Amino acid sequence: MQQPIAILDSGVGGLTVVKEVMRQLPREKIIYFGDTARTPYGPRPAEEVTRFTREIVDYLIQYRPKMIVIACNTATAVALEDIQSRVIIPVVGVIYPGARAANSSTQTGVVGVIGTEGTIRSGAYEHALKHLSPTIDVISLACPRFVPLVEQGNFRSEETFETVRASLQPLKSDKLDTLILGCTHYPFLVETIAEVMGKDVNLISSDGETAREVSTILQDRNRLQQGEAVPVHQFFCSGDPVMFKRITQQWLGEQIELMPIVWQVPKIG
């Protein structure tokens, strides 16, 4: 039996990581949990986010995953080490992949980070960047209005553009050449963010970078899937499955329509 990669998020943001894992590792089976009943995690206290993350991991572990991806920056910032200490399989967050890519990309040494209040307050990106390169400068900005737009499926409206433009204003005058989209929801807004920041700023998305690190780590541990079998993915959510399924299909597009998928709404928490 093929052991899956478990990917979890506060809602639909982690689907950006799912899409990249599907693209970069098409042989791998994915089980996904979106905690749509309790999204967003950003404004919640750290203890609560840690408890929610534990509950989801406890649920997913019954499917015997070979790896857990915490595809949520808020949960990564506050709960990654806790989860790593509780399971024996590798647990990957989305913060170090983005930090490593930014560290590799920046020429000026000035890196911006946008994220939820919880992520920014935790200082997790700044810690990760300085852990890798002590001399790097980090400018952090919370953008609490972005996640609700994405969870409503509101990716490209006039309202969205205005919200993004106004929110990112404080970063426009700085000398940063690299901006980390420090929330897995933000790739849904990437075109708008690129338009606002201009082409001289390199945008780093957690999604593709995290998928690459998943690939690297599975290979180092000799756990990449072999063979030609088509994986059957499974998607779980804790809230309204109609909305969740609609956004999932909209985001994953053709990829998901060609695949056999199991949808479930387990009771959790």
Tokens 């572990």 label which residue?
Answer: 61
**Between 20 and 126, whose beta carbon lies closer to its own copies?**
20
Tokens 């920046």 label which residue?
Answer: 106
C-alpha distances (whole Å) from 113 to each of 136, 170, 207 are: 13, 12, 15
Q: Tell me the one-letter amino acid at 147.
A: V
Closest approach of its own copies to the CB of residue 102, in Å: 11
Q: Which of 206, 182, 17, 162 is nearest to 116 (CA)?
A: 182
Closest approach of its own copies to the CB of residue 236, in Å: 26
Element (H, E) at 113: strand 110-115
| 48: its two tokens | 């609560």
User: Residues near 209 by Cβ (< 8 Å), separated by ≥ 6?
Assistant: 94, 97, 98, 100, 101
Is 42 among the annotated ligand-binding positions? yes
Could you say which residues in the range 154-193 bind its own copies, by CB under 8 A? none
**Between 37 and 217, whose beta carbon lies closer to its own copies?**
217
Spatial separation of the C-alpha atoms in residues 41 and 52, rounded to whole Å: 9
Closest approach of its own copies to the CB of residue 225, in Å: 10
Closest approach of its own copies to the CB of residue 131, in Å: 7
- The single residue of 183, 189, 193, 237 carrying the catalytic annotation is 183
Q: Which stretch binds its own copies (CB under 8 A): 117-125, 146-154, 174-182, 219-227?
A: 219-227
Could you say which residues in the range 98-117 bind its own copies, by CB under 8 A? 100-101, 103-104
Active site residue 143: no
CA-based radius of gyration for the chain: 18
User: Which residues are known binding-site members?
Assistant: 9-10, 41-42, 73-74, 184-185
Q: Residues interacting with its own copies, by CB under 8 A?
A: 20, 24-27, 90, 92, 96-97, 100-101, 103-104, 131-135, 208, 211-213, 215-217, 219-220, 224, 228
